[in-house]
Amino acid sequence: MIETYSLGWSPEPVAATPIMNAPFITRSMLASSCLLTASASAALAKGRLPLEAVQVIELAGPDYDQLEREDAILAAAGAPARIAVPNTVSLFPETTGTWEHLDDGRMMWRLRVLSPGAAHLNIGFDRLALPSSAEMRIASFDGFDVTETITAETPLAEGQYWSPIIWGDEVIVEFEVDATQRRELERGVSIVSINEGYRGLRDYRDGPFHTSGSCNVDVACSSGDAWSCEIPSVGVYTINGTWTCTGAMVNNTSEDETPYFLTAEHCGVTPNNDQTVVVYWNYENSSCRTPGSAESAMVGDGPLTDTSTGAVLRAFDSNTDFALLELVSSPSESYGVSYAGWSRSASLPTVGAGIHHPNTAEKRISTPASVQHDSDSFYTDIFWEVVWAEGVTQPGSSGSPLFNGEHQIIGQLCCGNSYCNNPNEVDWYGKSFTSTWAKLSPYLDPTNTGQVMIDTLCGSEPCPWDLGGTGSVDQTALMALLALWGEPSASGDFDGSGVVDVIDLLELLEYWGACP
């Protein structure tokens, strides 16, 4: 049965702001894609209904031409980049979707969501209180893009769950639960948003709103060699599955790896939507593309498998344009995320680097020609003024960190005018660690040590063979690799041959067991 939703939409109001850099983002195929594929094959033997028998909710699909015109206006107004059209819904397993009995005595609920022509979809739950026996996942129709499995033990922000982006114009929402707990699941689940994605990290169209400028520099280039400890601290994130920005994990004086995430206030995270934040880690190209080349302006091969969902807004200030979030749970150790150091010295800093996701494309590194106090006396104590020697920022870079020469964050990107054809224009970074330190100190200096600066706490080395995100190289990783067999997947192509093949299988088996 197909149910058609005629859902209109309108962009959220955009506050009058300076012209600010903002971002856009999406998600690629998850390395754990085989989870649904494998489970689906096994389930057919248990008598699951064919997908054609599952109820479908159909949306109108995005109007790409109209959305692109609107995005040009939003970018000029300094709004965070929009990647999806939000649709408010009210869907419950008790009245929507298809229930069925499985051969093992458990029950399954599924719902298909279709948005013809959409690049990707994501689903928002304002209530996800799962009984002890329940499991939930969301997958693309072909089974190649699958979220992690959510259970009653999964940490959630205020009981809500906002999924990562799933590629394709049709997704399947799936729950399994013991028959005795079906009613408990029905009472505990409510879907409130379906977001139709129309652009993102792997957008197939060209143009200034869909990819990073060619002058930008991959973090895999030599410019990033000295920043290997800081690069993993930077991530790109979504809000409400619709808006996007860049941010960075920051260290605190206790160095206890509390997951504090620094970004820009104008990106729009509030106490009403912080639970919808999804951060993507390690989204970066595997090799250095020559800056200025056509290849550097194209979509790269960065994986989008490493995510953190849900946050709490801890502090913010509109003057220096910062927002400090605390993620609901720490990123998996297998992601290798680091905790960036910072300095609250008011002295003119040595030149360092800006690390960011321009247009929410793969992570890039920009090198300043100069860092000065803002030339406007009114803003001298509020912003750093930056002109670039190599690389620039773009919509998508908002909230990204500016590091001094000692590899410490001194501010986050507020606004600016730089772009590849005009690299000498100025960008501004908020002096949050000096002018508004009183709002940050309860979190970043919890024991009131009075430290003026702190170094980066490096994360563990990423474990590329942990394709299942379990923290070890195990059967889940093997299944994920086999699901990618023959595909040009960056996540499973360990030897860089361009395809997942027997050489990659042998390498995975070589590292079988705990991640090194």
Residues taking part in catalysis: 266, 321, 398
Cβ atoms of 338 and 233 closer than 8 Å: yes
Element (H, E) at 341: strand 341-343
Alpha-carbon gap, residue 130 to 249, rounded angstroms: 30
Alpha-carbon gap, residue 325 to 328, rounded angstroms: 9
Alpha-carbon gap, residue 71 to 77, rounded angstroms: 10
* Collapsed DSSP state (helix, strand, coil) of residue 91: strand
Alpha-carbon gap, residue 132 to 206, rounded angstroms: 46
Residue type for position 194: I
Cβ atoms of 360 and 83 closer than 8 Å: yes
In angstroms, the Cα distances linking 348 to 87, 156, 372 are 47, 41, 7
**DSSP at 243:** E
Q: Count H helices and E strands in the chain, helices first.
A: 6, 29
Alpha helix stretches (DSSP H) within 153-252: 182-188
* Collapsed DSSP state (helix, strand, coil) of residue 311: strand
Alpha-carbon gap, residue 319 to 27, rounded angstroms: 32
